[in-house]
Amino acid sequence: MKVVAKFGHESAGLIDKPDPVAKGEFAVVKIHSVPMCTEYKGFTSEHKGDSFGHEAAGEVVEIAQEGTVKVGDRVVVMPHFPCGKCHLCLTGEYAHCPDDNKILHATEQTGVTATFAQYVLKQDWLLVPIPDGISYHHAGMACCGLGSTSNAMRLMNVNAFDTVLITGMGPIGLGGVINAVYRGARVIAVESHPYRADLAKKLGAAEVVNPQDEDVADQIQDLTDGKGVDKGVECSAASAAVRLLIEVTRPKGHIALIGGIGEVEIQGSGIINKGLVLHGTRHYNLADTPAMMRMITQVKDQLDTFITHSFPMREIQEAWALQCTHDCGKVVLDPWK
């Protein structure tokens, strides 16, 4: 099979690897759509590698045992490789499994679990059926495109009475706009890049403010009649965004942290005095997959706007170069072109 490889600074292409073989609970999926995530961040480094990607949608082509899928099923390939046995996995919270990735030795195969490839090996219980009428590109958004922020919306019970502030209009933040608007909320987006600020508006954000403005907090307060936002979602991985959310979220409000933030210096009194509730989240519970698929069927026009570019996988170098400019929304690859 063909897989993506990075050869050095801004150099990438395709190489050949053996096709995966189904084993135990691991099934083989022929990938038809590969949503791209943050892999591009290493494109300008000298790093070399050939194991990229964690999102996909495709068709089951081989199983080793009877289980939750059969050959021919159209499925979403969920991210992560959890153990499947701990309390978190058994209750659907697999994304927080403390033994994530340790199960990979059971496949006795290497280089077959990344999704920038024509085939992937995955536990059958992490293959979510795609309903009829949903394209592979749209179905793939059930991974990080919509998945990360959908759980944040559920945890905070975002609804039509809420004003939600979302910081960072990368693909995850843009997906957050879709999720919040779907729930009827008013969205204020925080973004400095013109292309992504404009895309946030197209997806339904009522207002977009620039975090580089010195009075950005005052602007948000003015937009909420001085009350502050009801809920906040941090998707930028910027420590300043966390501080902004704490400052402008109303008393007893909720904040969800999704961006990969390092150490953050904050005033604890801002959280304590307001009685704010902070949530950490990575992905949604497996029990919520039917709701995710229902939403996808109802936001097809927004998803067509959200997915701004599609590339043949052989043009991975051009795709990564585009992502580095940030002049894009969600980008997808076709492994068979």
pLDDT at 322 over 80: yes
pLDDT for residue 263 is more than 80: no
Cα 76 from Cα 126, distance rounded (Å): 8
Mean pLDDT of 53-73: 96
Of all residues in the chain, the percent with pLDDT exceeding 90 is 91
Q: pLDDT at residue 29 above 90?
A: yes
Query: Has residue 230 got a pLDDT over 80?
Result: yes
* % of the chain residues with pLDDT over 70: 100
pLDDT of amino acid 268: 82
**If you average pLDDT over residues 154-172, what whole number do you get?**
98
Burial group, residue 20, by CB count within 10 angstroms (0-12, 13-18, 19+): buried
Average pLDDT over residues 41-69: 95
Cβ pair 145, 243 in contact under 8 A: no
One-letter identity of residue 121? L
Beta-bridge mates of residue 271: none
The mean of the pLDDT values for the chain is 95
Domains belonging to the chain, first-starting first, are 2-130+299-334 (3.90.180.10), 146-280 (3.40.50.720)
Question: Does the pLDDT of residue 259 top 90, yes or no?
Answer: no
- In this prediction, residue 105 carries a pLDDT of 82
Average pLDDT score over residue span 153-182: 98
pLDDT given for residue 159 in this prediction = 98
- Mean pLDDT, range 56-70, rounded to an integer: 96
Counting beta carbons within 10 angstroms of the beta carbon of residue 239, is it exposed (0 to 12), middle (13 to 18) or buried (19 or more)?
middle
What does residue 210 show for φ and ψ, rounded to 5 degrees? -95, 120
Q: How confident is the model at residue 110 (pLDDT cuts 50, 70, 90)?
A: confident
| Residue found under tokens 């600020």 | 197
Q: Find residue 14's DSSP bridge partners.
A: 4
Residue 261 has pLDDT above 80, yes or no: no
Name the H helices within the chain. Answer: 87-90, 136-139, 144-156, 171-182, 194-202, 216-223, 239-248, 268-274, 289-298, 300-306, 316-325
Pairing of β 277-280 and β 249-257: parallel
Average pLDDT over residues 13-18: 97
Specify the pLDDT at position 270. 86
Instruction: Give the pairing of strands 11-16 and 26-35.
Output: unpaired
pLDDT tens sequence across 184-201: 999 999 999 999 999 999
pLDDT of residue 35: 98
The residue with greater pLDDT, 260 or 81, is: 81
pLDDT of residue 285: 95
Regarding predicted confidence, which is higher, 142 or 237?
142
Question: Does residue 329 or residue 237 have the better pLDDT?
Answer: 329
What pLDDT sits at residue 292? 97
In the block, tokens 């795709």 appear at 319
> One-letter amino acid identity for 219?
Q
pLDDT in tens, 292-309: 999 999 999 999 999 999
How far is residue 231's CA from residue 159's CA, in Å, rounded to a whole number? 10
Asked whether 60 and 127 are in contact (CB, 8 A), the reply is: yes
d(CA 90, CA 99): 13
pLDDT (0 to 100) of residue 101: 80
Residue type, 255: I
300 phi, psi to nearest 5 deg: -60, -40
pLDDT tens per residue across span 49-60: 999 999 999 999
Across the range 57-83, mean pLDDT stands at 96
